[in-house]
Amino acid sequence: MSNSIHTVPAILTDDPIALGKMVFQTESFTDHAQFDIMDGRFVPSRSVSCEQIAALRTKLIWEAHLMVLHPEDYLEEFKQAGAQKIVFHYEATSSPDQIIRQVKSLGMQAGLAVNPKTSVDVIKPLLSELDSVLFLSVNPGFYGAEFIPEVLNKIVAFRKAHPRLEIGIDGGIKEDNIVKIAETGVNVIYIGSAIFRQPQPAENYRRLTRLAEAYAP
């Protein structure tokens, strides 16, 4: 794909009422979102469920970022709920190749997320089957976690080696680092607290989007 850049709101909460508010806000300024799903096992925190997302009947085009053990157990319900894409963690399963095939067989796109300390070498055998790779720039599981700048060097090297693959980044992205992030050549920047924990989420989203687009290669 081309190296166009997109900013996508990342919706993370354990509160169904807050979920509805965040989705309503997101629908006012974009048509695409990511829902972060946490099980309290792969990561310490828990989030809202697929059932609660489905109940909102959102018109958003959305994907699910599964920070869960045994992601294969979640695929069918997310397909039924309307997910267009599943992003699961390499570290959460011993059979990532099988999960990729399951996701594809259900008619969804397959993305693979890697934690900051995970070497990209381990995912190379899977790249030809993937629609995207998502680099976590925080240790996952908490809203507003601290950004790990060393991940940007990994992305730059990965982009040079794989110029056509969709690359995303997720975690700790704010106005003071989004320019450096955009310059790495990522295609998708997922943004959570820098949108939703601000007084004017829509304006924050638009400002961050303008910065990303201005500095993309």
Positions marked catalytic = 36, 170
Q: Is residue 119's pLDDT more than 60?
A: yes
Q: Is the pLDDT of residue 144 over 90?
A: no
Q: Tokens in use for 35?
A: 């829902």
pTM, 2 dp: 0.96
Which option is the CATH number for 6-215: 3.30.710.10, 3.40.980.10, 3.90.1150.10, 3.20.20.70?
Answer: 3.20.20.70
Statement: residue 23 has pLDDT above 80: yes
Residue the block writes with tokens 């638009």 = 206
User: Could you tell me the pLDDT band of residue 113, with boundaries at 50, 70 and 90?
Assistant: very high
| 3-state secondary structure (DSSP) of residue 198 | coil
Tokens describing residue 30: 């974009």
Measured CA to CA, the distance from residue 201 to residue 66 in angstroms comes to 24
pLDDT at 2: 44
Determine the pLDDT at residue 141.
72
Q: Cβ atoms within 10 A of the Cβ of 213, count?
A: 13
What percent of the chain lies above the pLDDT cut of 90? 95
Separation between Cα atoms, residue 48 and residue 181, nearest integer Å: 29
The band of 168, judged by pLDDT with boundaries at 50, 70 and 90, is: very high
Q: Which two tokens stand for residue 24?
A: 């309503």
